[in-house]
Amino acid sequence: MTLTATRTRWLQDNGVYVAVVALLLFNAVFTANFLTLGNFRTQLVQAAPVLIVALGMALVIGTEGVDLSVGAVMALAAAIIPLYLGAGPVPAVLMALVAGLVAGLFNGFLVAKVGIQPIVATLALLVGGRGLALVIANGQLVQLHDPAFLALGTGDVLGIPISVLIAVVLAVAVAALTNRTTFGRQLVAVGGNRRAAALAGLPVNRVLIGVYTICGVLAAVSGVLATSRLGAGDPADMGLLMELSAITAVVVGGTPLTGGKVRVLGTVTGVVLMQLVRATLIKHDLPDSIAQMIQAAIIVAAVYVARERR
Amino acid sequence: MPTDPVIEVAGVTKTFAGVRALDDVDFTLEKGEIHALVGENGAGKSTLIKVLTGIHTPDAGRVERHGRISTIYQEVNLVPLMSVAANLFLGREPRTRLGLIDRARRDADAAALLGGYGITADVRSPLGTLAVGEQQMVALARAVQAEADVVIMDEPTSSLEPREVETLLGVVAKLHEAGIAVIYVSHRMDELYRICDRVTVLRDGKRVHTGSLAELPRIELVSLMLGRSVTEIRKHGTTAFGEDHHADTEPVLEARDLTSTPRINGVTVSIRPGEVVGLAGLLGSGRTETAKAIIGALPLDRGTVLVAGKPVPRNVKAATRAGISMLAEDRKTEGIIPNLSVRENIVLAALPKLSRFGVTSRAKQDRIVDTFVKRLRIKVSSPEQKVSELSGGNQQKVLLARWLCTEPKILLLDEPTRGIDVGAKAEVQALIDELAREGLAVLLISSELDELLDGADRLVVLRDGAVAGELEGARLTREHVLAAIAAEVMDDADSH
Amino acid sequence: MTTLTAATRTKVLQRQGSAVALVLVVAVSWLVFPRFGSLDNLRDLALQGSFLAVIALGMTFVIITGGIDLSVGSVYALGGVLAAWGSQYGFLVALALPLVVCAGIGLVNGLLIARTNMAPFIVTLASLLFARGLLLAITDEGATTYQIPPDSAFVELGRGTVFGFGYPIFVAAALCLLGGVVLNRTSSGQNVFATGGAEQSAILMGVPVARTKIGVYTASGTLAGLAGALTAAYLQSGVTVIGVGTELDAIAVVVIGGTLLTGGTGMVLGTVIGVGLIKVIQNVINQIGTLDSNYQSVVSGVFLLVVVVLQRVLRR
């Protein structure tokens, strides 16, 4: 391997960590009130829902797929919560998760059994899902008052926000799933070489359906947490462009869009990086406009670096 | 004979990643001749064609072209969703006075042109709706219509039905009449001897023969193509296979009447435990297809596969469960998962067995991987090394290990030693021997005759998708195999 | 032979399926809703459809090459804002500025996709963000809405009518006609089909694949910008919040119109029918009144799904 190839490889694998450290250092020196507990807390709480979605997205991308419907699924969760909150927070959350499960099963079925490209299969739900959520909610934003449910988004355990805790637990769980289970290894194999995986007798369809289902459930979890934090069911805005943020974080974190690899720690770091970029720009009074353009540049740069070489 | 070459190649050498694909090759194509280019896989035909057409630049040597070249590939390189006429005229459509494409004229021209080749299909329908043979003919018509002086045909008949082959050969004859030179690549003896004037045989990147085809007996041509290469001759015979192993038991695998037109037609093979059965035949004779049919990866028109007397449903999962494993010919696209480690590639198929409640046991994996790395002498820096970093031979051993840890009863090996270096080759051969001695039933596919003769207890010879003969014991000789492949009946080799 | 009948069925369904659906929906609407058939309503319907048709025209080309352009919604909004801002310098600037800038974004999309082999999906996703960011940057973070002077000739482009039918309808019709001719009757059009149908074969057949891709993304950006300019002229201002999700509408109508998302086949007329279908359904849902307007996207989603599944099933 030539020196440049080695260097590119290293950058592909570790660029995201370097970027996070660099940004942290930059902020520590140049940003007032950055190294405070309160600030970290805010950043983490904001990043948690994105992370949960990104975890599912990383698994889907690992199979050489993509799930565009995650934002719509979040909206569905946001629409369903108020409907069942009267029966208590547990049934409400469960129903939201079931919605995510069904959405994911549906996507997985289209991809694995019908054989539709992932981008197209999940597009239908992206187009229709939010509309469905709005129909369910009558197009209304519903204020929520159940204290137990609201605690999910605002409460602490041992000084750590519950949503952050859930995100961390899920990240560990997804990492364990990818690295320590038959399912996880089969998932990566399907993404790496689908034909070889099928010839090796792997249950390709079951793996694909499973992956999309997990992604749907995780999107619903994220929708539940975000709804709780907002204190209102808001299907119109809930998870808008979330598919974009999640894909960005996954790709920036070094999981290639060509599949065959899932980097959970990279994805977590990717989410943190994009959150830090946003925070840095805001703290330095750079407007949202510039922030969006910089994000666009980061996406292109990350995908460019991560391009598979032939 | 006066020479008026349209293509002249002298001393061409081309190396890919240290492998000599072409080694000092000379080649001359005379004006108006039909020149057969033959050789087994990896002999260098494709590379030579790419050098001729200018896709590859040779490392050394001289290439002179005195005319325009048009190439027809084995796979139809047209656009299936576009209409037949659009495909024919893509890039040189007739125009109206407004500069727009004159569709009426294009379609009429296309119909007339194809009518000349005996194709009456609707030229406005998408190309993909035509039979493969007709598509191939459209490609041919397109190539010829480009006013080429040379047409290169790379296995144009490999996916055609007999009737379509006739039409194609008719077209080639017309080209010949029009004074267009043709380079014809094929493995079908009948076709070659019918239409070709001269032949060039490549083997291992070297030109081993050029001359008049009519003066070259079939058996000699086959021998030239398959001939043993000098480097592999070892002190004690040519390969690392040991003694034959006999077993007078019931066959563990019986495949009956496997048919998938036009690739294979009524192939029947059976293997006993501990037996190595070789599948011989030229490229395209249906060897790989037979193996794929047995493992359930090829849709069949008819035929059954029995393991220990019980029929196996036709899908890979069921076949695997029944104890059949297949080492695919194409390591890259059908074998290794490139981004995974050696360990993960080895345990892939056996993963459910090595897990408890879906959670993989690293200790069990390490134990089994360690066993196989040692036993198959896989050279890795660590089991965690990426499989894509290994040499071809070691990748092959990794795949072999993948199947062995599922504890199969029947192992189908498709070209297990292709593209790996001599040392690794001997090791893989010795391993196959060892596995058979342990009671495994092995189906061995190889383009190397010596490997088959030494390694197999019995040989099934395929020709054009059908069994052309079965050889055993005293008849397991080079001469008999060549005769069967070349379809020449020898005195004591009558069919049974 | 099974391939033949399946292909024929697919073809029939692609060519006629959406048209039949449109005729049915229109007929039922006409009978059930008396106001549907009124000239005013039809004029309004056509005008609303014309903006989407212009965007979807570009998307049709992109999808036929096997790509996708997610940036059109943002570019559409950007085009409107640029036109409104430019209108203070006269008609020419109001029209040329959005076209040039949006063509530039399309060109960059095309260059990145054709030259670096990055996935169209991710490249245009980034430019979706970029265009929206640019829009915010020139509108004071969305706080400023540029008004077009009412006496400006540019307003006429959006609000002028012939027999009560707005100019944008004619612009869209002319462009779709032109698009159809380019696609079916020029070699550039043939290159578009070949690129999406079988890229490797197209290269071997001498088709300039990279140039074709760059061309379609540039066209898509330009058309989205033009649609934005027309919308601004019609609304007399550069509304900053429009265009969110418009890329999805555009993709949906293209697919409903029978263009395969896998590329290689498609038609402009189908896209126009797709626009008609979506807009008629939208119009009807509005007429029902009691029905939530959010059913629109549900119906679009279901339509999309049915079409895609049918395409896939018939292809077997």
- Cα angle, residue B401 at apex, residues B400 and B406 outer, rounded to 5°: 105
- Verify whether the Cβ–Cβ distance B335 to A196 is below 8 Å: yes
- Verify whether the Cβ–Cβ distance C130 to A244 is below 8 Å: no
Which sign does the torsion angle of CA A63, A68, A74, A76 carry?
Answer: negative
The residue type at B421: D
Closest CB from C132, C301, C302 relative to A292:
C132
Report if pTM > 0.90.
no
Closest CB from B297, B337, B402 relative to A192:
B337
Which DSSP symbol is given to C118? -
Which DSSP symbol is given to B101? B
Number of residues assigned to chain C: 316
B112 C-beta neighbours (distance < 10 Å), count: 10
- Verify whether the Cβ–Cβ distance B79 to C184 is below 8 Å: no
For chain B, which residues score pLDDT lower than 50? Answer: 229-238, 245, 247, 489-496
- For C4, the closest chain B residue by CA position comes to B129
| Tokens standing for residue C106 | 């399309």
Residue among A8, A66, A127 with most chain C CBs within 10 A, to mutate = A127
Task: Classify residue A256: in a domain, yes or no.
Answer: yes
- Verify whether the Cβ–Cβ distance A199 to B338 is below 8 Å: no
**Domains of chain A: total:** 1
B128 contact residues in C (CB cutoff 8 A): 3, 7
- Verify whether the Cβ–Cβ distance C301 to A129 is below 8 Å: yes
Q: Which domains does chain B have, with CATH numbers?
A: 5-231 (3.40.50.300), 234-486 (3.40.50.300)
pLDDT at C76 over 90: yes
For chain A, which residues score pLDDT lower than 70? Answer: 1-5, 307-310
- Verify whether the Cβ–Cβ distance B82 to C190 is below 8 Å: yes
C-alpha B275/C-alpha B281 separation (Å) is 19
Contacts of A266 (CB under 8 A, 6+ apart): A16, A253, A254, A255
Q: Who has greater pLDDT, A15 or C257?
A: C257
C-alpha B361/C-alpha C193 separation (Å) is 51
Residue C166 confidence class, pLDDT cut points 50, 70, 90: confident
Q: Who has greater pLDDT, C254 or B44?
A: C254
How would you classify residue C124: left for phi > 0, otherwise alpha for psi between -120 and 50, otherwise beta?
alpha
Residue C168 confidence class, pLDDT cut points 50, 70, 90: very high
- Verify whether the Cβ–Cβ distance B360 to A181 is below 8 Å: yes
Place of tokens 């260097």: A7
3-state secondary structure (DSSP) of residue B7: strand
Closest CB from C184, C187, C197 relative to B81:
C197
Residue among C200, C246, C297 with most chain A CBs within 10 A, to mutate = C297
Closest CB from C123, C141, C298 relative to A128:
C298
Contacts of A92 (CB under 8 A, 6+ apart): A80, A81, A82, A83, A84, A85, A146, A149
Residue A260 C-alpha, separation from nearest chain B C-alpha, in angstroms = 6
Closest CB from A125, A138, A295 relative to C301:
A125
Answer for the pair B118, B170: CB distance below 8 angstroms, yes or no. Answer: yes
B46 C-beta neighbours (distance < 10 Å), count: 19
Closest CB from A127, A132, A293 relative to C134:
A293
| Tokens standing for residue C78 | 């950007």
pLDDT at residue B495, rounded to an integer: 40
A185 contact residues in B (CB cutoff 8 A): 340, 344, 347-348, 351, 360
3-state secondary structure (DSSP) of residue A241: coil
pLDDT at residue B379, rounded to an integer: 81
pLDDT at residue B81, rounded to an integer: 87
pLDDT at residue B371, rounded to an integer: 87
Question: In B155-301, where do the E strands start and end?
Answer: 181-185, 198-203, 206-212, 253-260, 264-271, 276-280
Q: By a Cβ cutoff of 8 Å, what residues of chain C touch chain B?
A: 3-4, 7-8, 11, 181, 184-187, 190, 193-194, 197-198, 200-202, 204-207, 260, 264-265
Answer for the pair B131, B163: CB distance below 8 angstroms, yes or no. Answer: no
The strand pair at B441-445 and B276-280 is best described as parallel
Closest CB from A123, A240, A291 relative to C251:
A123
Contacts of C137 (CB under 8 A, 6+ apart): A287, A289, A290, A293
Q: What is the pLDDT of residues C183-222, one digit of tens each?
A: 999 999 999 999 998 888 888 888 899 999 999 999 999 9
Answer for the pair B410, B323: CB distance below 8 angstroms, yes or no. Answer: yes
pLDDT at residue B397, rounded to an integer: 87
Q: If you write DSSP's letter for every residue of A119-152 in order, what string do you get? A: HHHHHHHHHHHHHHHHHHTTT--EE---HHHHHH
Task: Classify residue A8: in a domain, yes or no.
Answer: no
Q: How far is the CA of A154 from the CAs of A149, A193, B196, in angstroms?
A: 9, 44, 83
Of A76, A67, A92, give the one whose Cα is nearest residue A214: A67
C-alpha B186/C-alpha B36 separation (Å) is 7
Q: Compute the count of residue pairs across chains B and C with CB atoms less than 8 Å apart.
A: 68
Task: Classify residue A29: in a domain, yes or no.
Answer: no
- Locate all alpha helices (DSSP H) within B326-391, ordered by sequence: 331-334, 342-347, 362-375
Residue C230 confidence class, pLDDT cut points 50, 70, 90: very high
Q: What torsion do the CA atoms of A134, A138, A139, A141 make, to the nearest 10 degrees?
A: -110
pLDDT at residue C2, rounded to an integer: 38
Of A299, A295, A207, A219, give the one whose Cα is nearest residue A259: A207
- Verify whether the Cβ–Cβ distance B81 to C264 is below 8 Å: yes
B253 C-beta neighbours (distance < 10 Å), count: 27
Contacts of C66 (CB under 8 A, 6+ apart): C195, C196, C199, C262, C263, C264
Query: Cis peptide before B80, with omega less than 30 degrees from 0?
Result: no
Closest CB from C8, C187, C201 relative to B79:
C201
pLDDT at C12 over 80: no
Task: Classify residue A135: in a domain, yes or no.
Answer: yes
A299 contact residues in C (CB cutoff 8 A): 122, 125-126, 129
What values do phi and psi take at B9, rounded to 5?
-130, 135
- Verify whether the Cβ–Cβ distance A182 to B351 is below 8 Å: yes
Q: What is the pLDDT of residues A259-303, one digit of tens each?
A: 888 999 999 999 999 898 888 888 888 888 888 898 889 888 888
| Tokens standing for residue C315 | 């292809």
The residue type at B302: R
Sheet holding B69-72, edge to edge: B69-72, B150-154, B181-185, B34-38, B198-203, B206-212
Closest CB from A66, A128, A299 relative to C300:
A128
Q: How far is the CA of B170 from the CAs of B69, B162, C39, in angstroms?
A: 20, 12, 64
Which DSSP symbol is given to B462? E
C-alpha A38/C-alpha A45 separation (Å) is 11
Which DSSP symbol is given to A87? G
Task: Classify residue A25: in a domain, yes or no.
Answer: no
Whole-angstrom distance between the N-terminal and C-terminal Cα of chain A?
Answer: 13
Longest dimension (CA), chain A: 64
Q: By a Cβ cutoff of 8 Å, what residues of chain B touch chain A?
A: 295, 297, 316-317, 319-321, 326, 328, 333-340, 344, 347-349, 351-352, 355, 358-360, 362, 402, 406
- Verify whether the Cβ–Cβ distance B355 to A261 is below 8 Å: no
pLDDT > 70: percent of chain C: 92
Answer for the pair C79, C227: CB distance below 8 angstroms, yes or no. Answer: yes
Residue A15 C-alpha, separation from nearest chain B C-alpha, in angstroms = 19
Q: Which chains touch C (3 or more CB pairs under 8 A)?
A: A, B
User: What is the CATH classification number for the domain harbouring A119?
Assistant: 1.10.3470
3-state secondary structure (DSSP) of residue A83: helix
Q: Does A261 touch chain B (CB under 8 A)?
A: yes
pLDDT at residue B494, rounded to an integer: 41
C197 contact residues in B (CB cutoff 8 A): 79-82
| Tokens standing for residue A92 | 């409400």
| Selected residues 83-112 of chain B with any CB under 8 Å from a CB in chain C | 86, 90-91, 93, 99-101, 103
Burial of B20 (0-12, 13-18, 19+ CB in 10 A): middle
Query: A236 lies in which domain range?
Result: 36-306
C-alpha C21/C-alpha C300 separation (Å) is 13
Task: Classify residue A12: in a domain, yes or no.
Answer: no
Which DSSP symbol is given to A111? I
Question: In B168-237, where do the E strands start and end?
Answer: 181-185, 198-203, 206-212
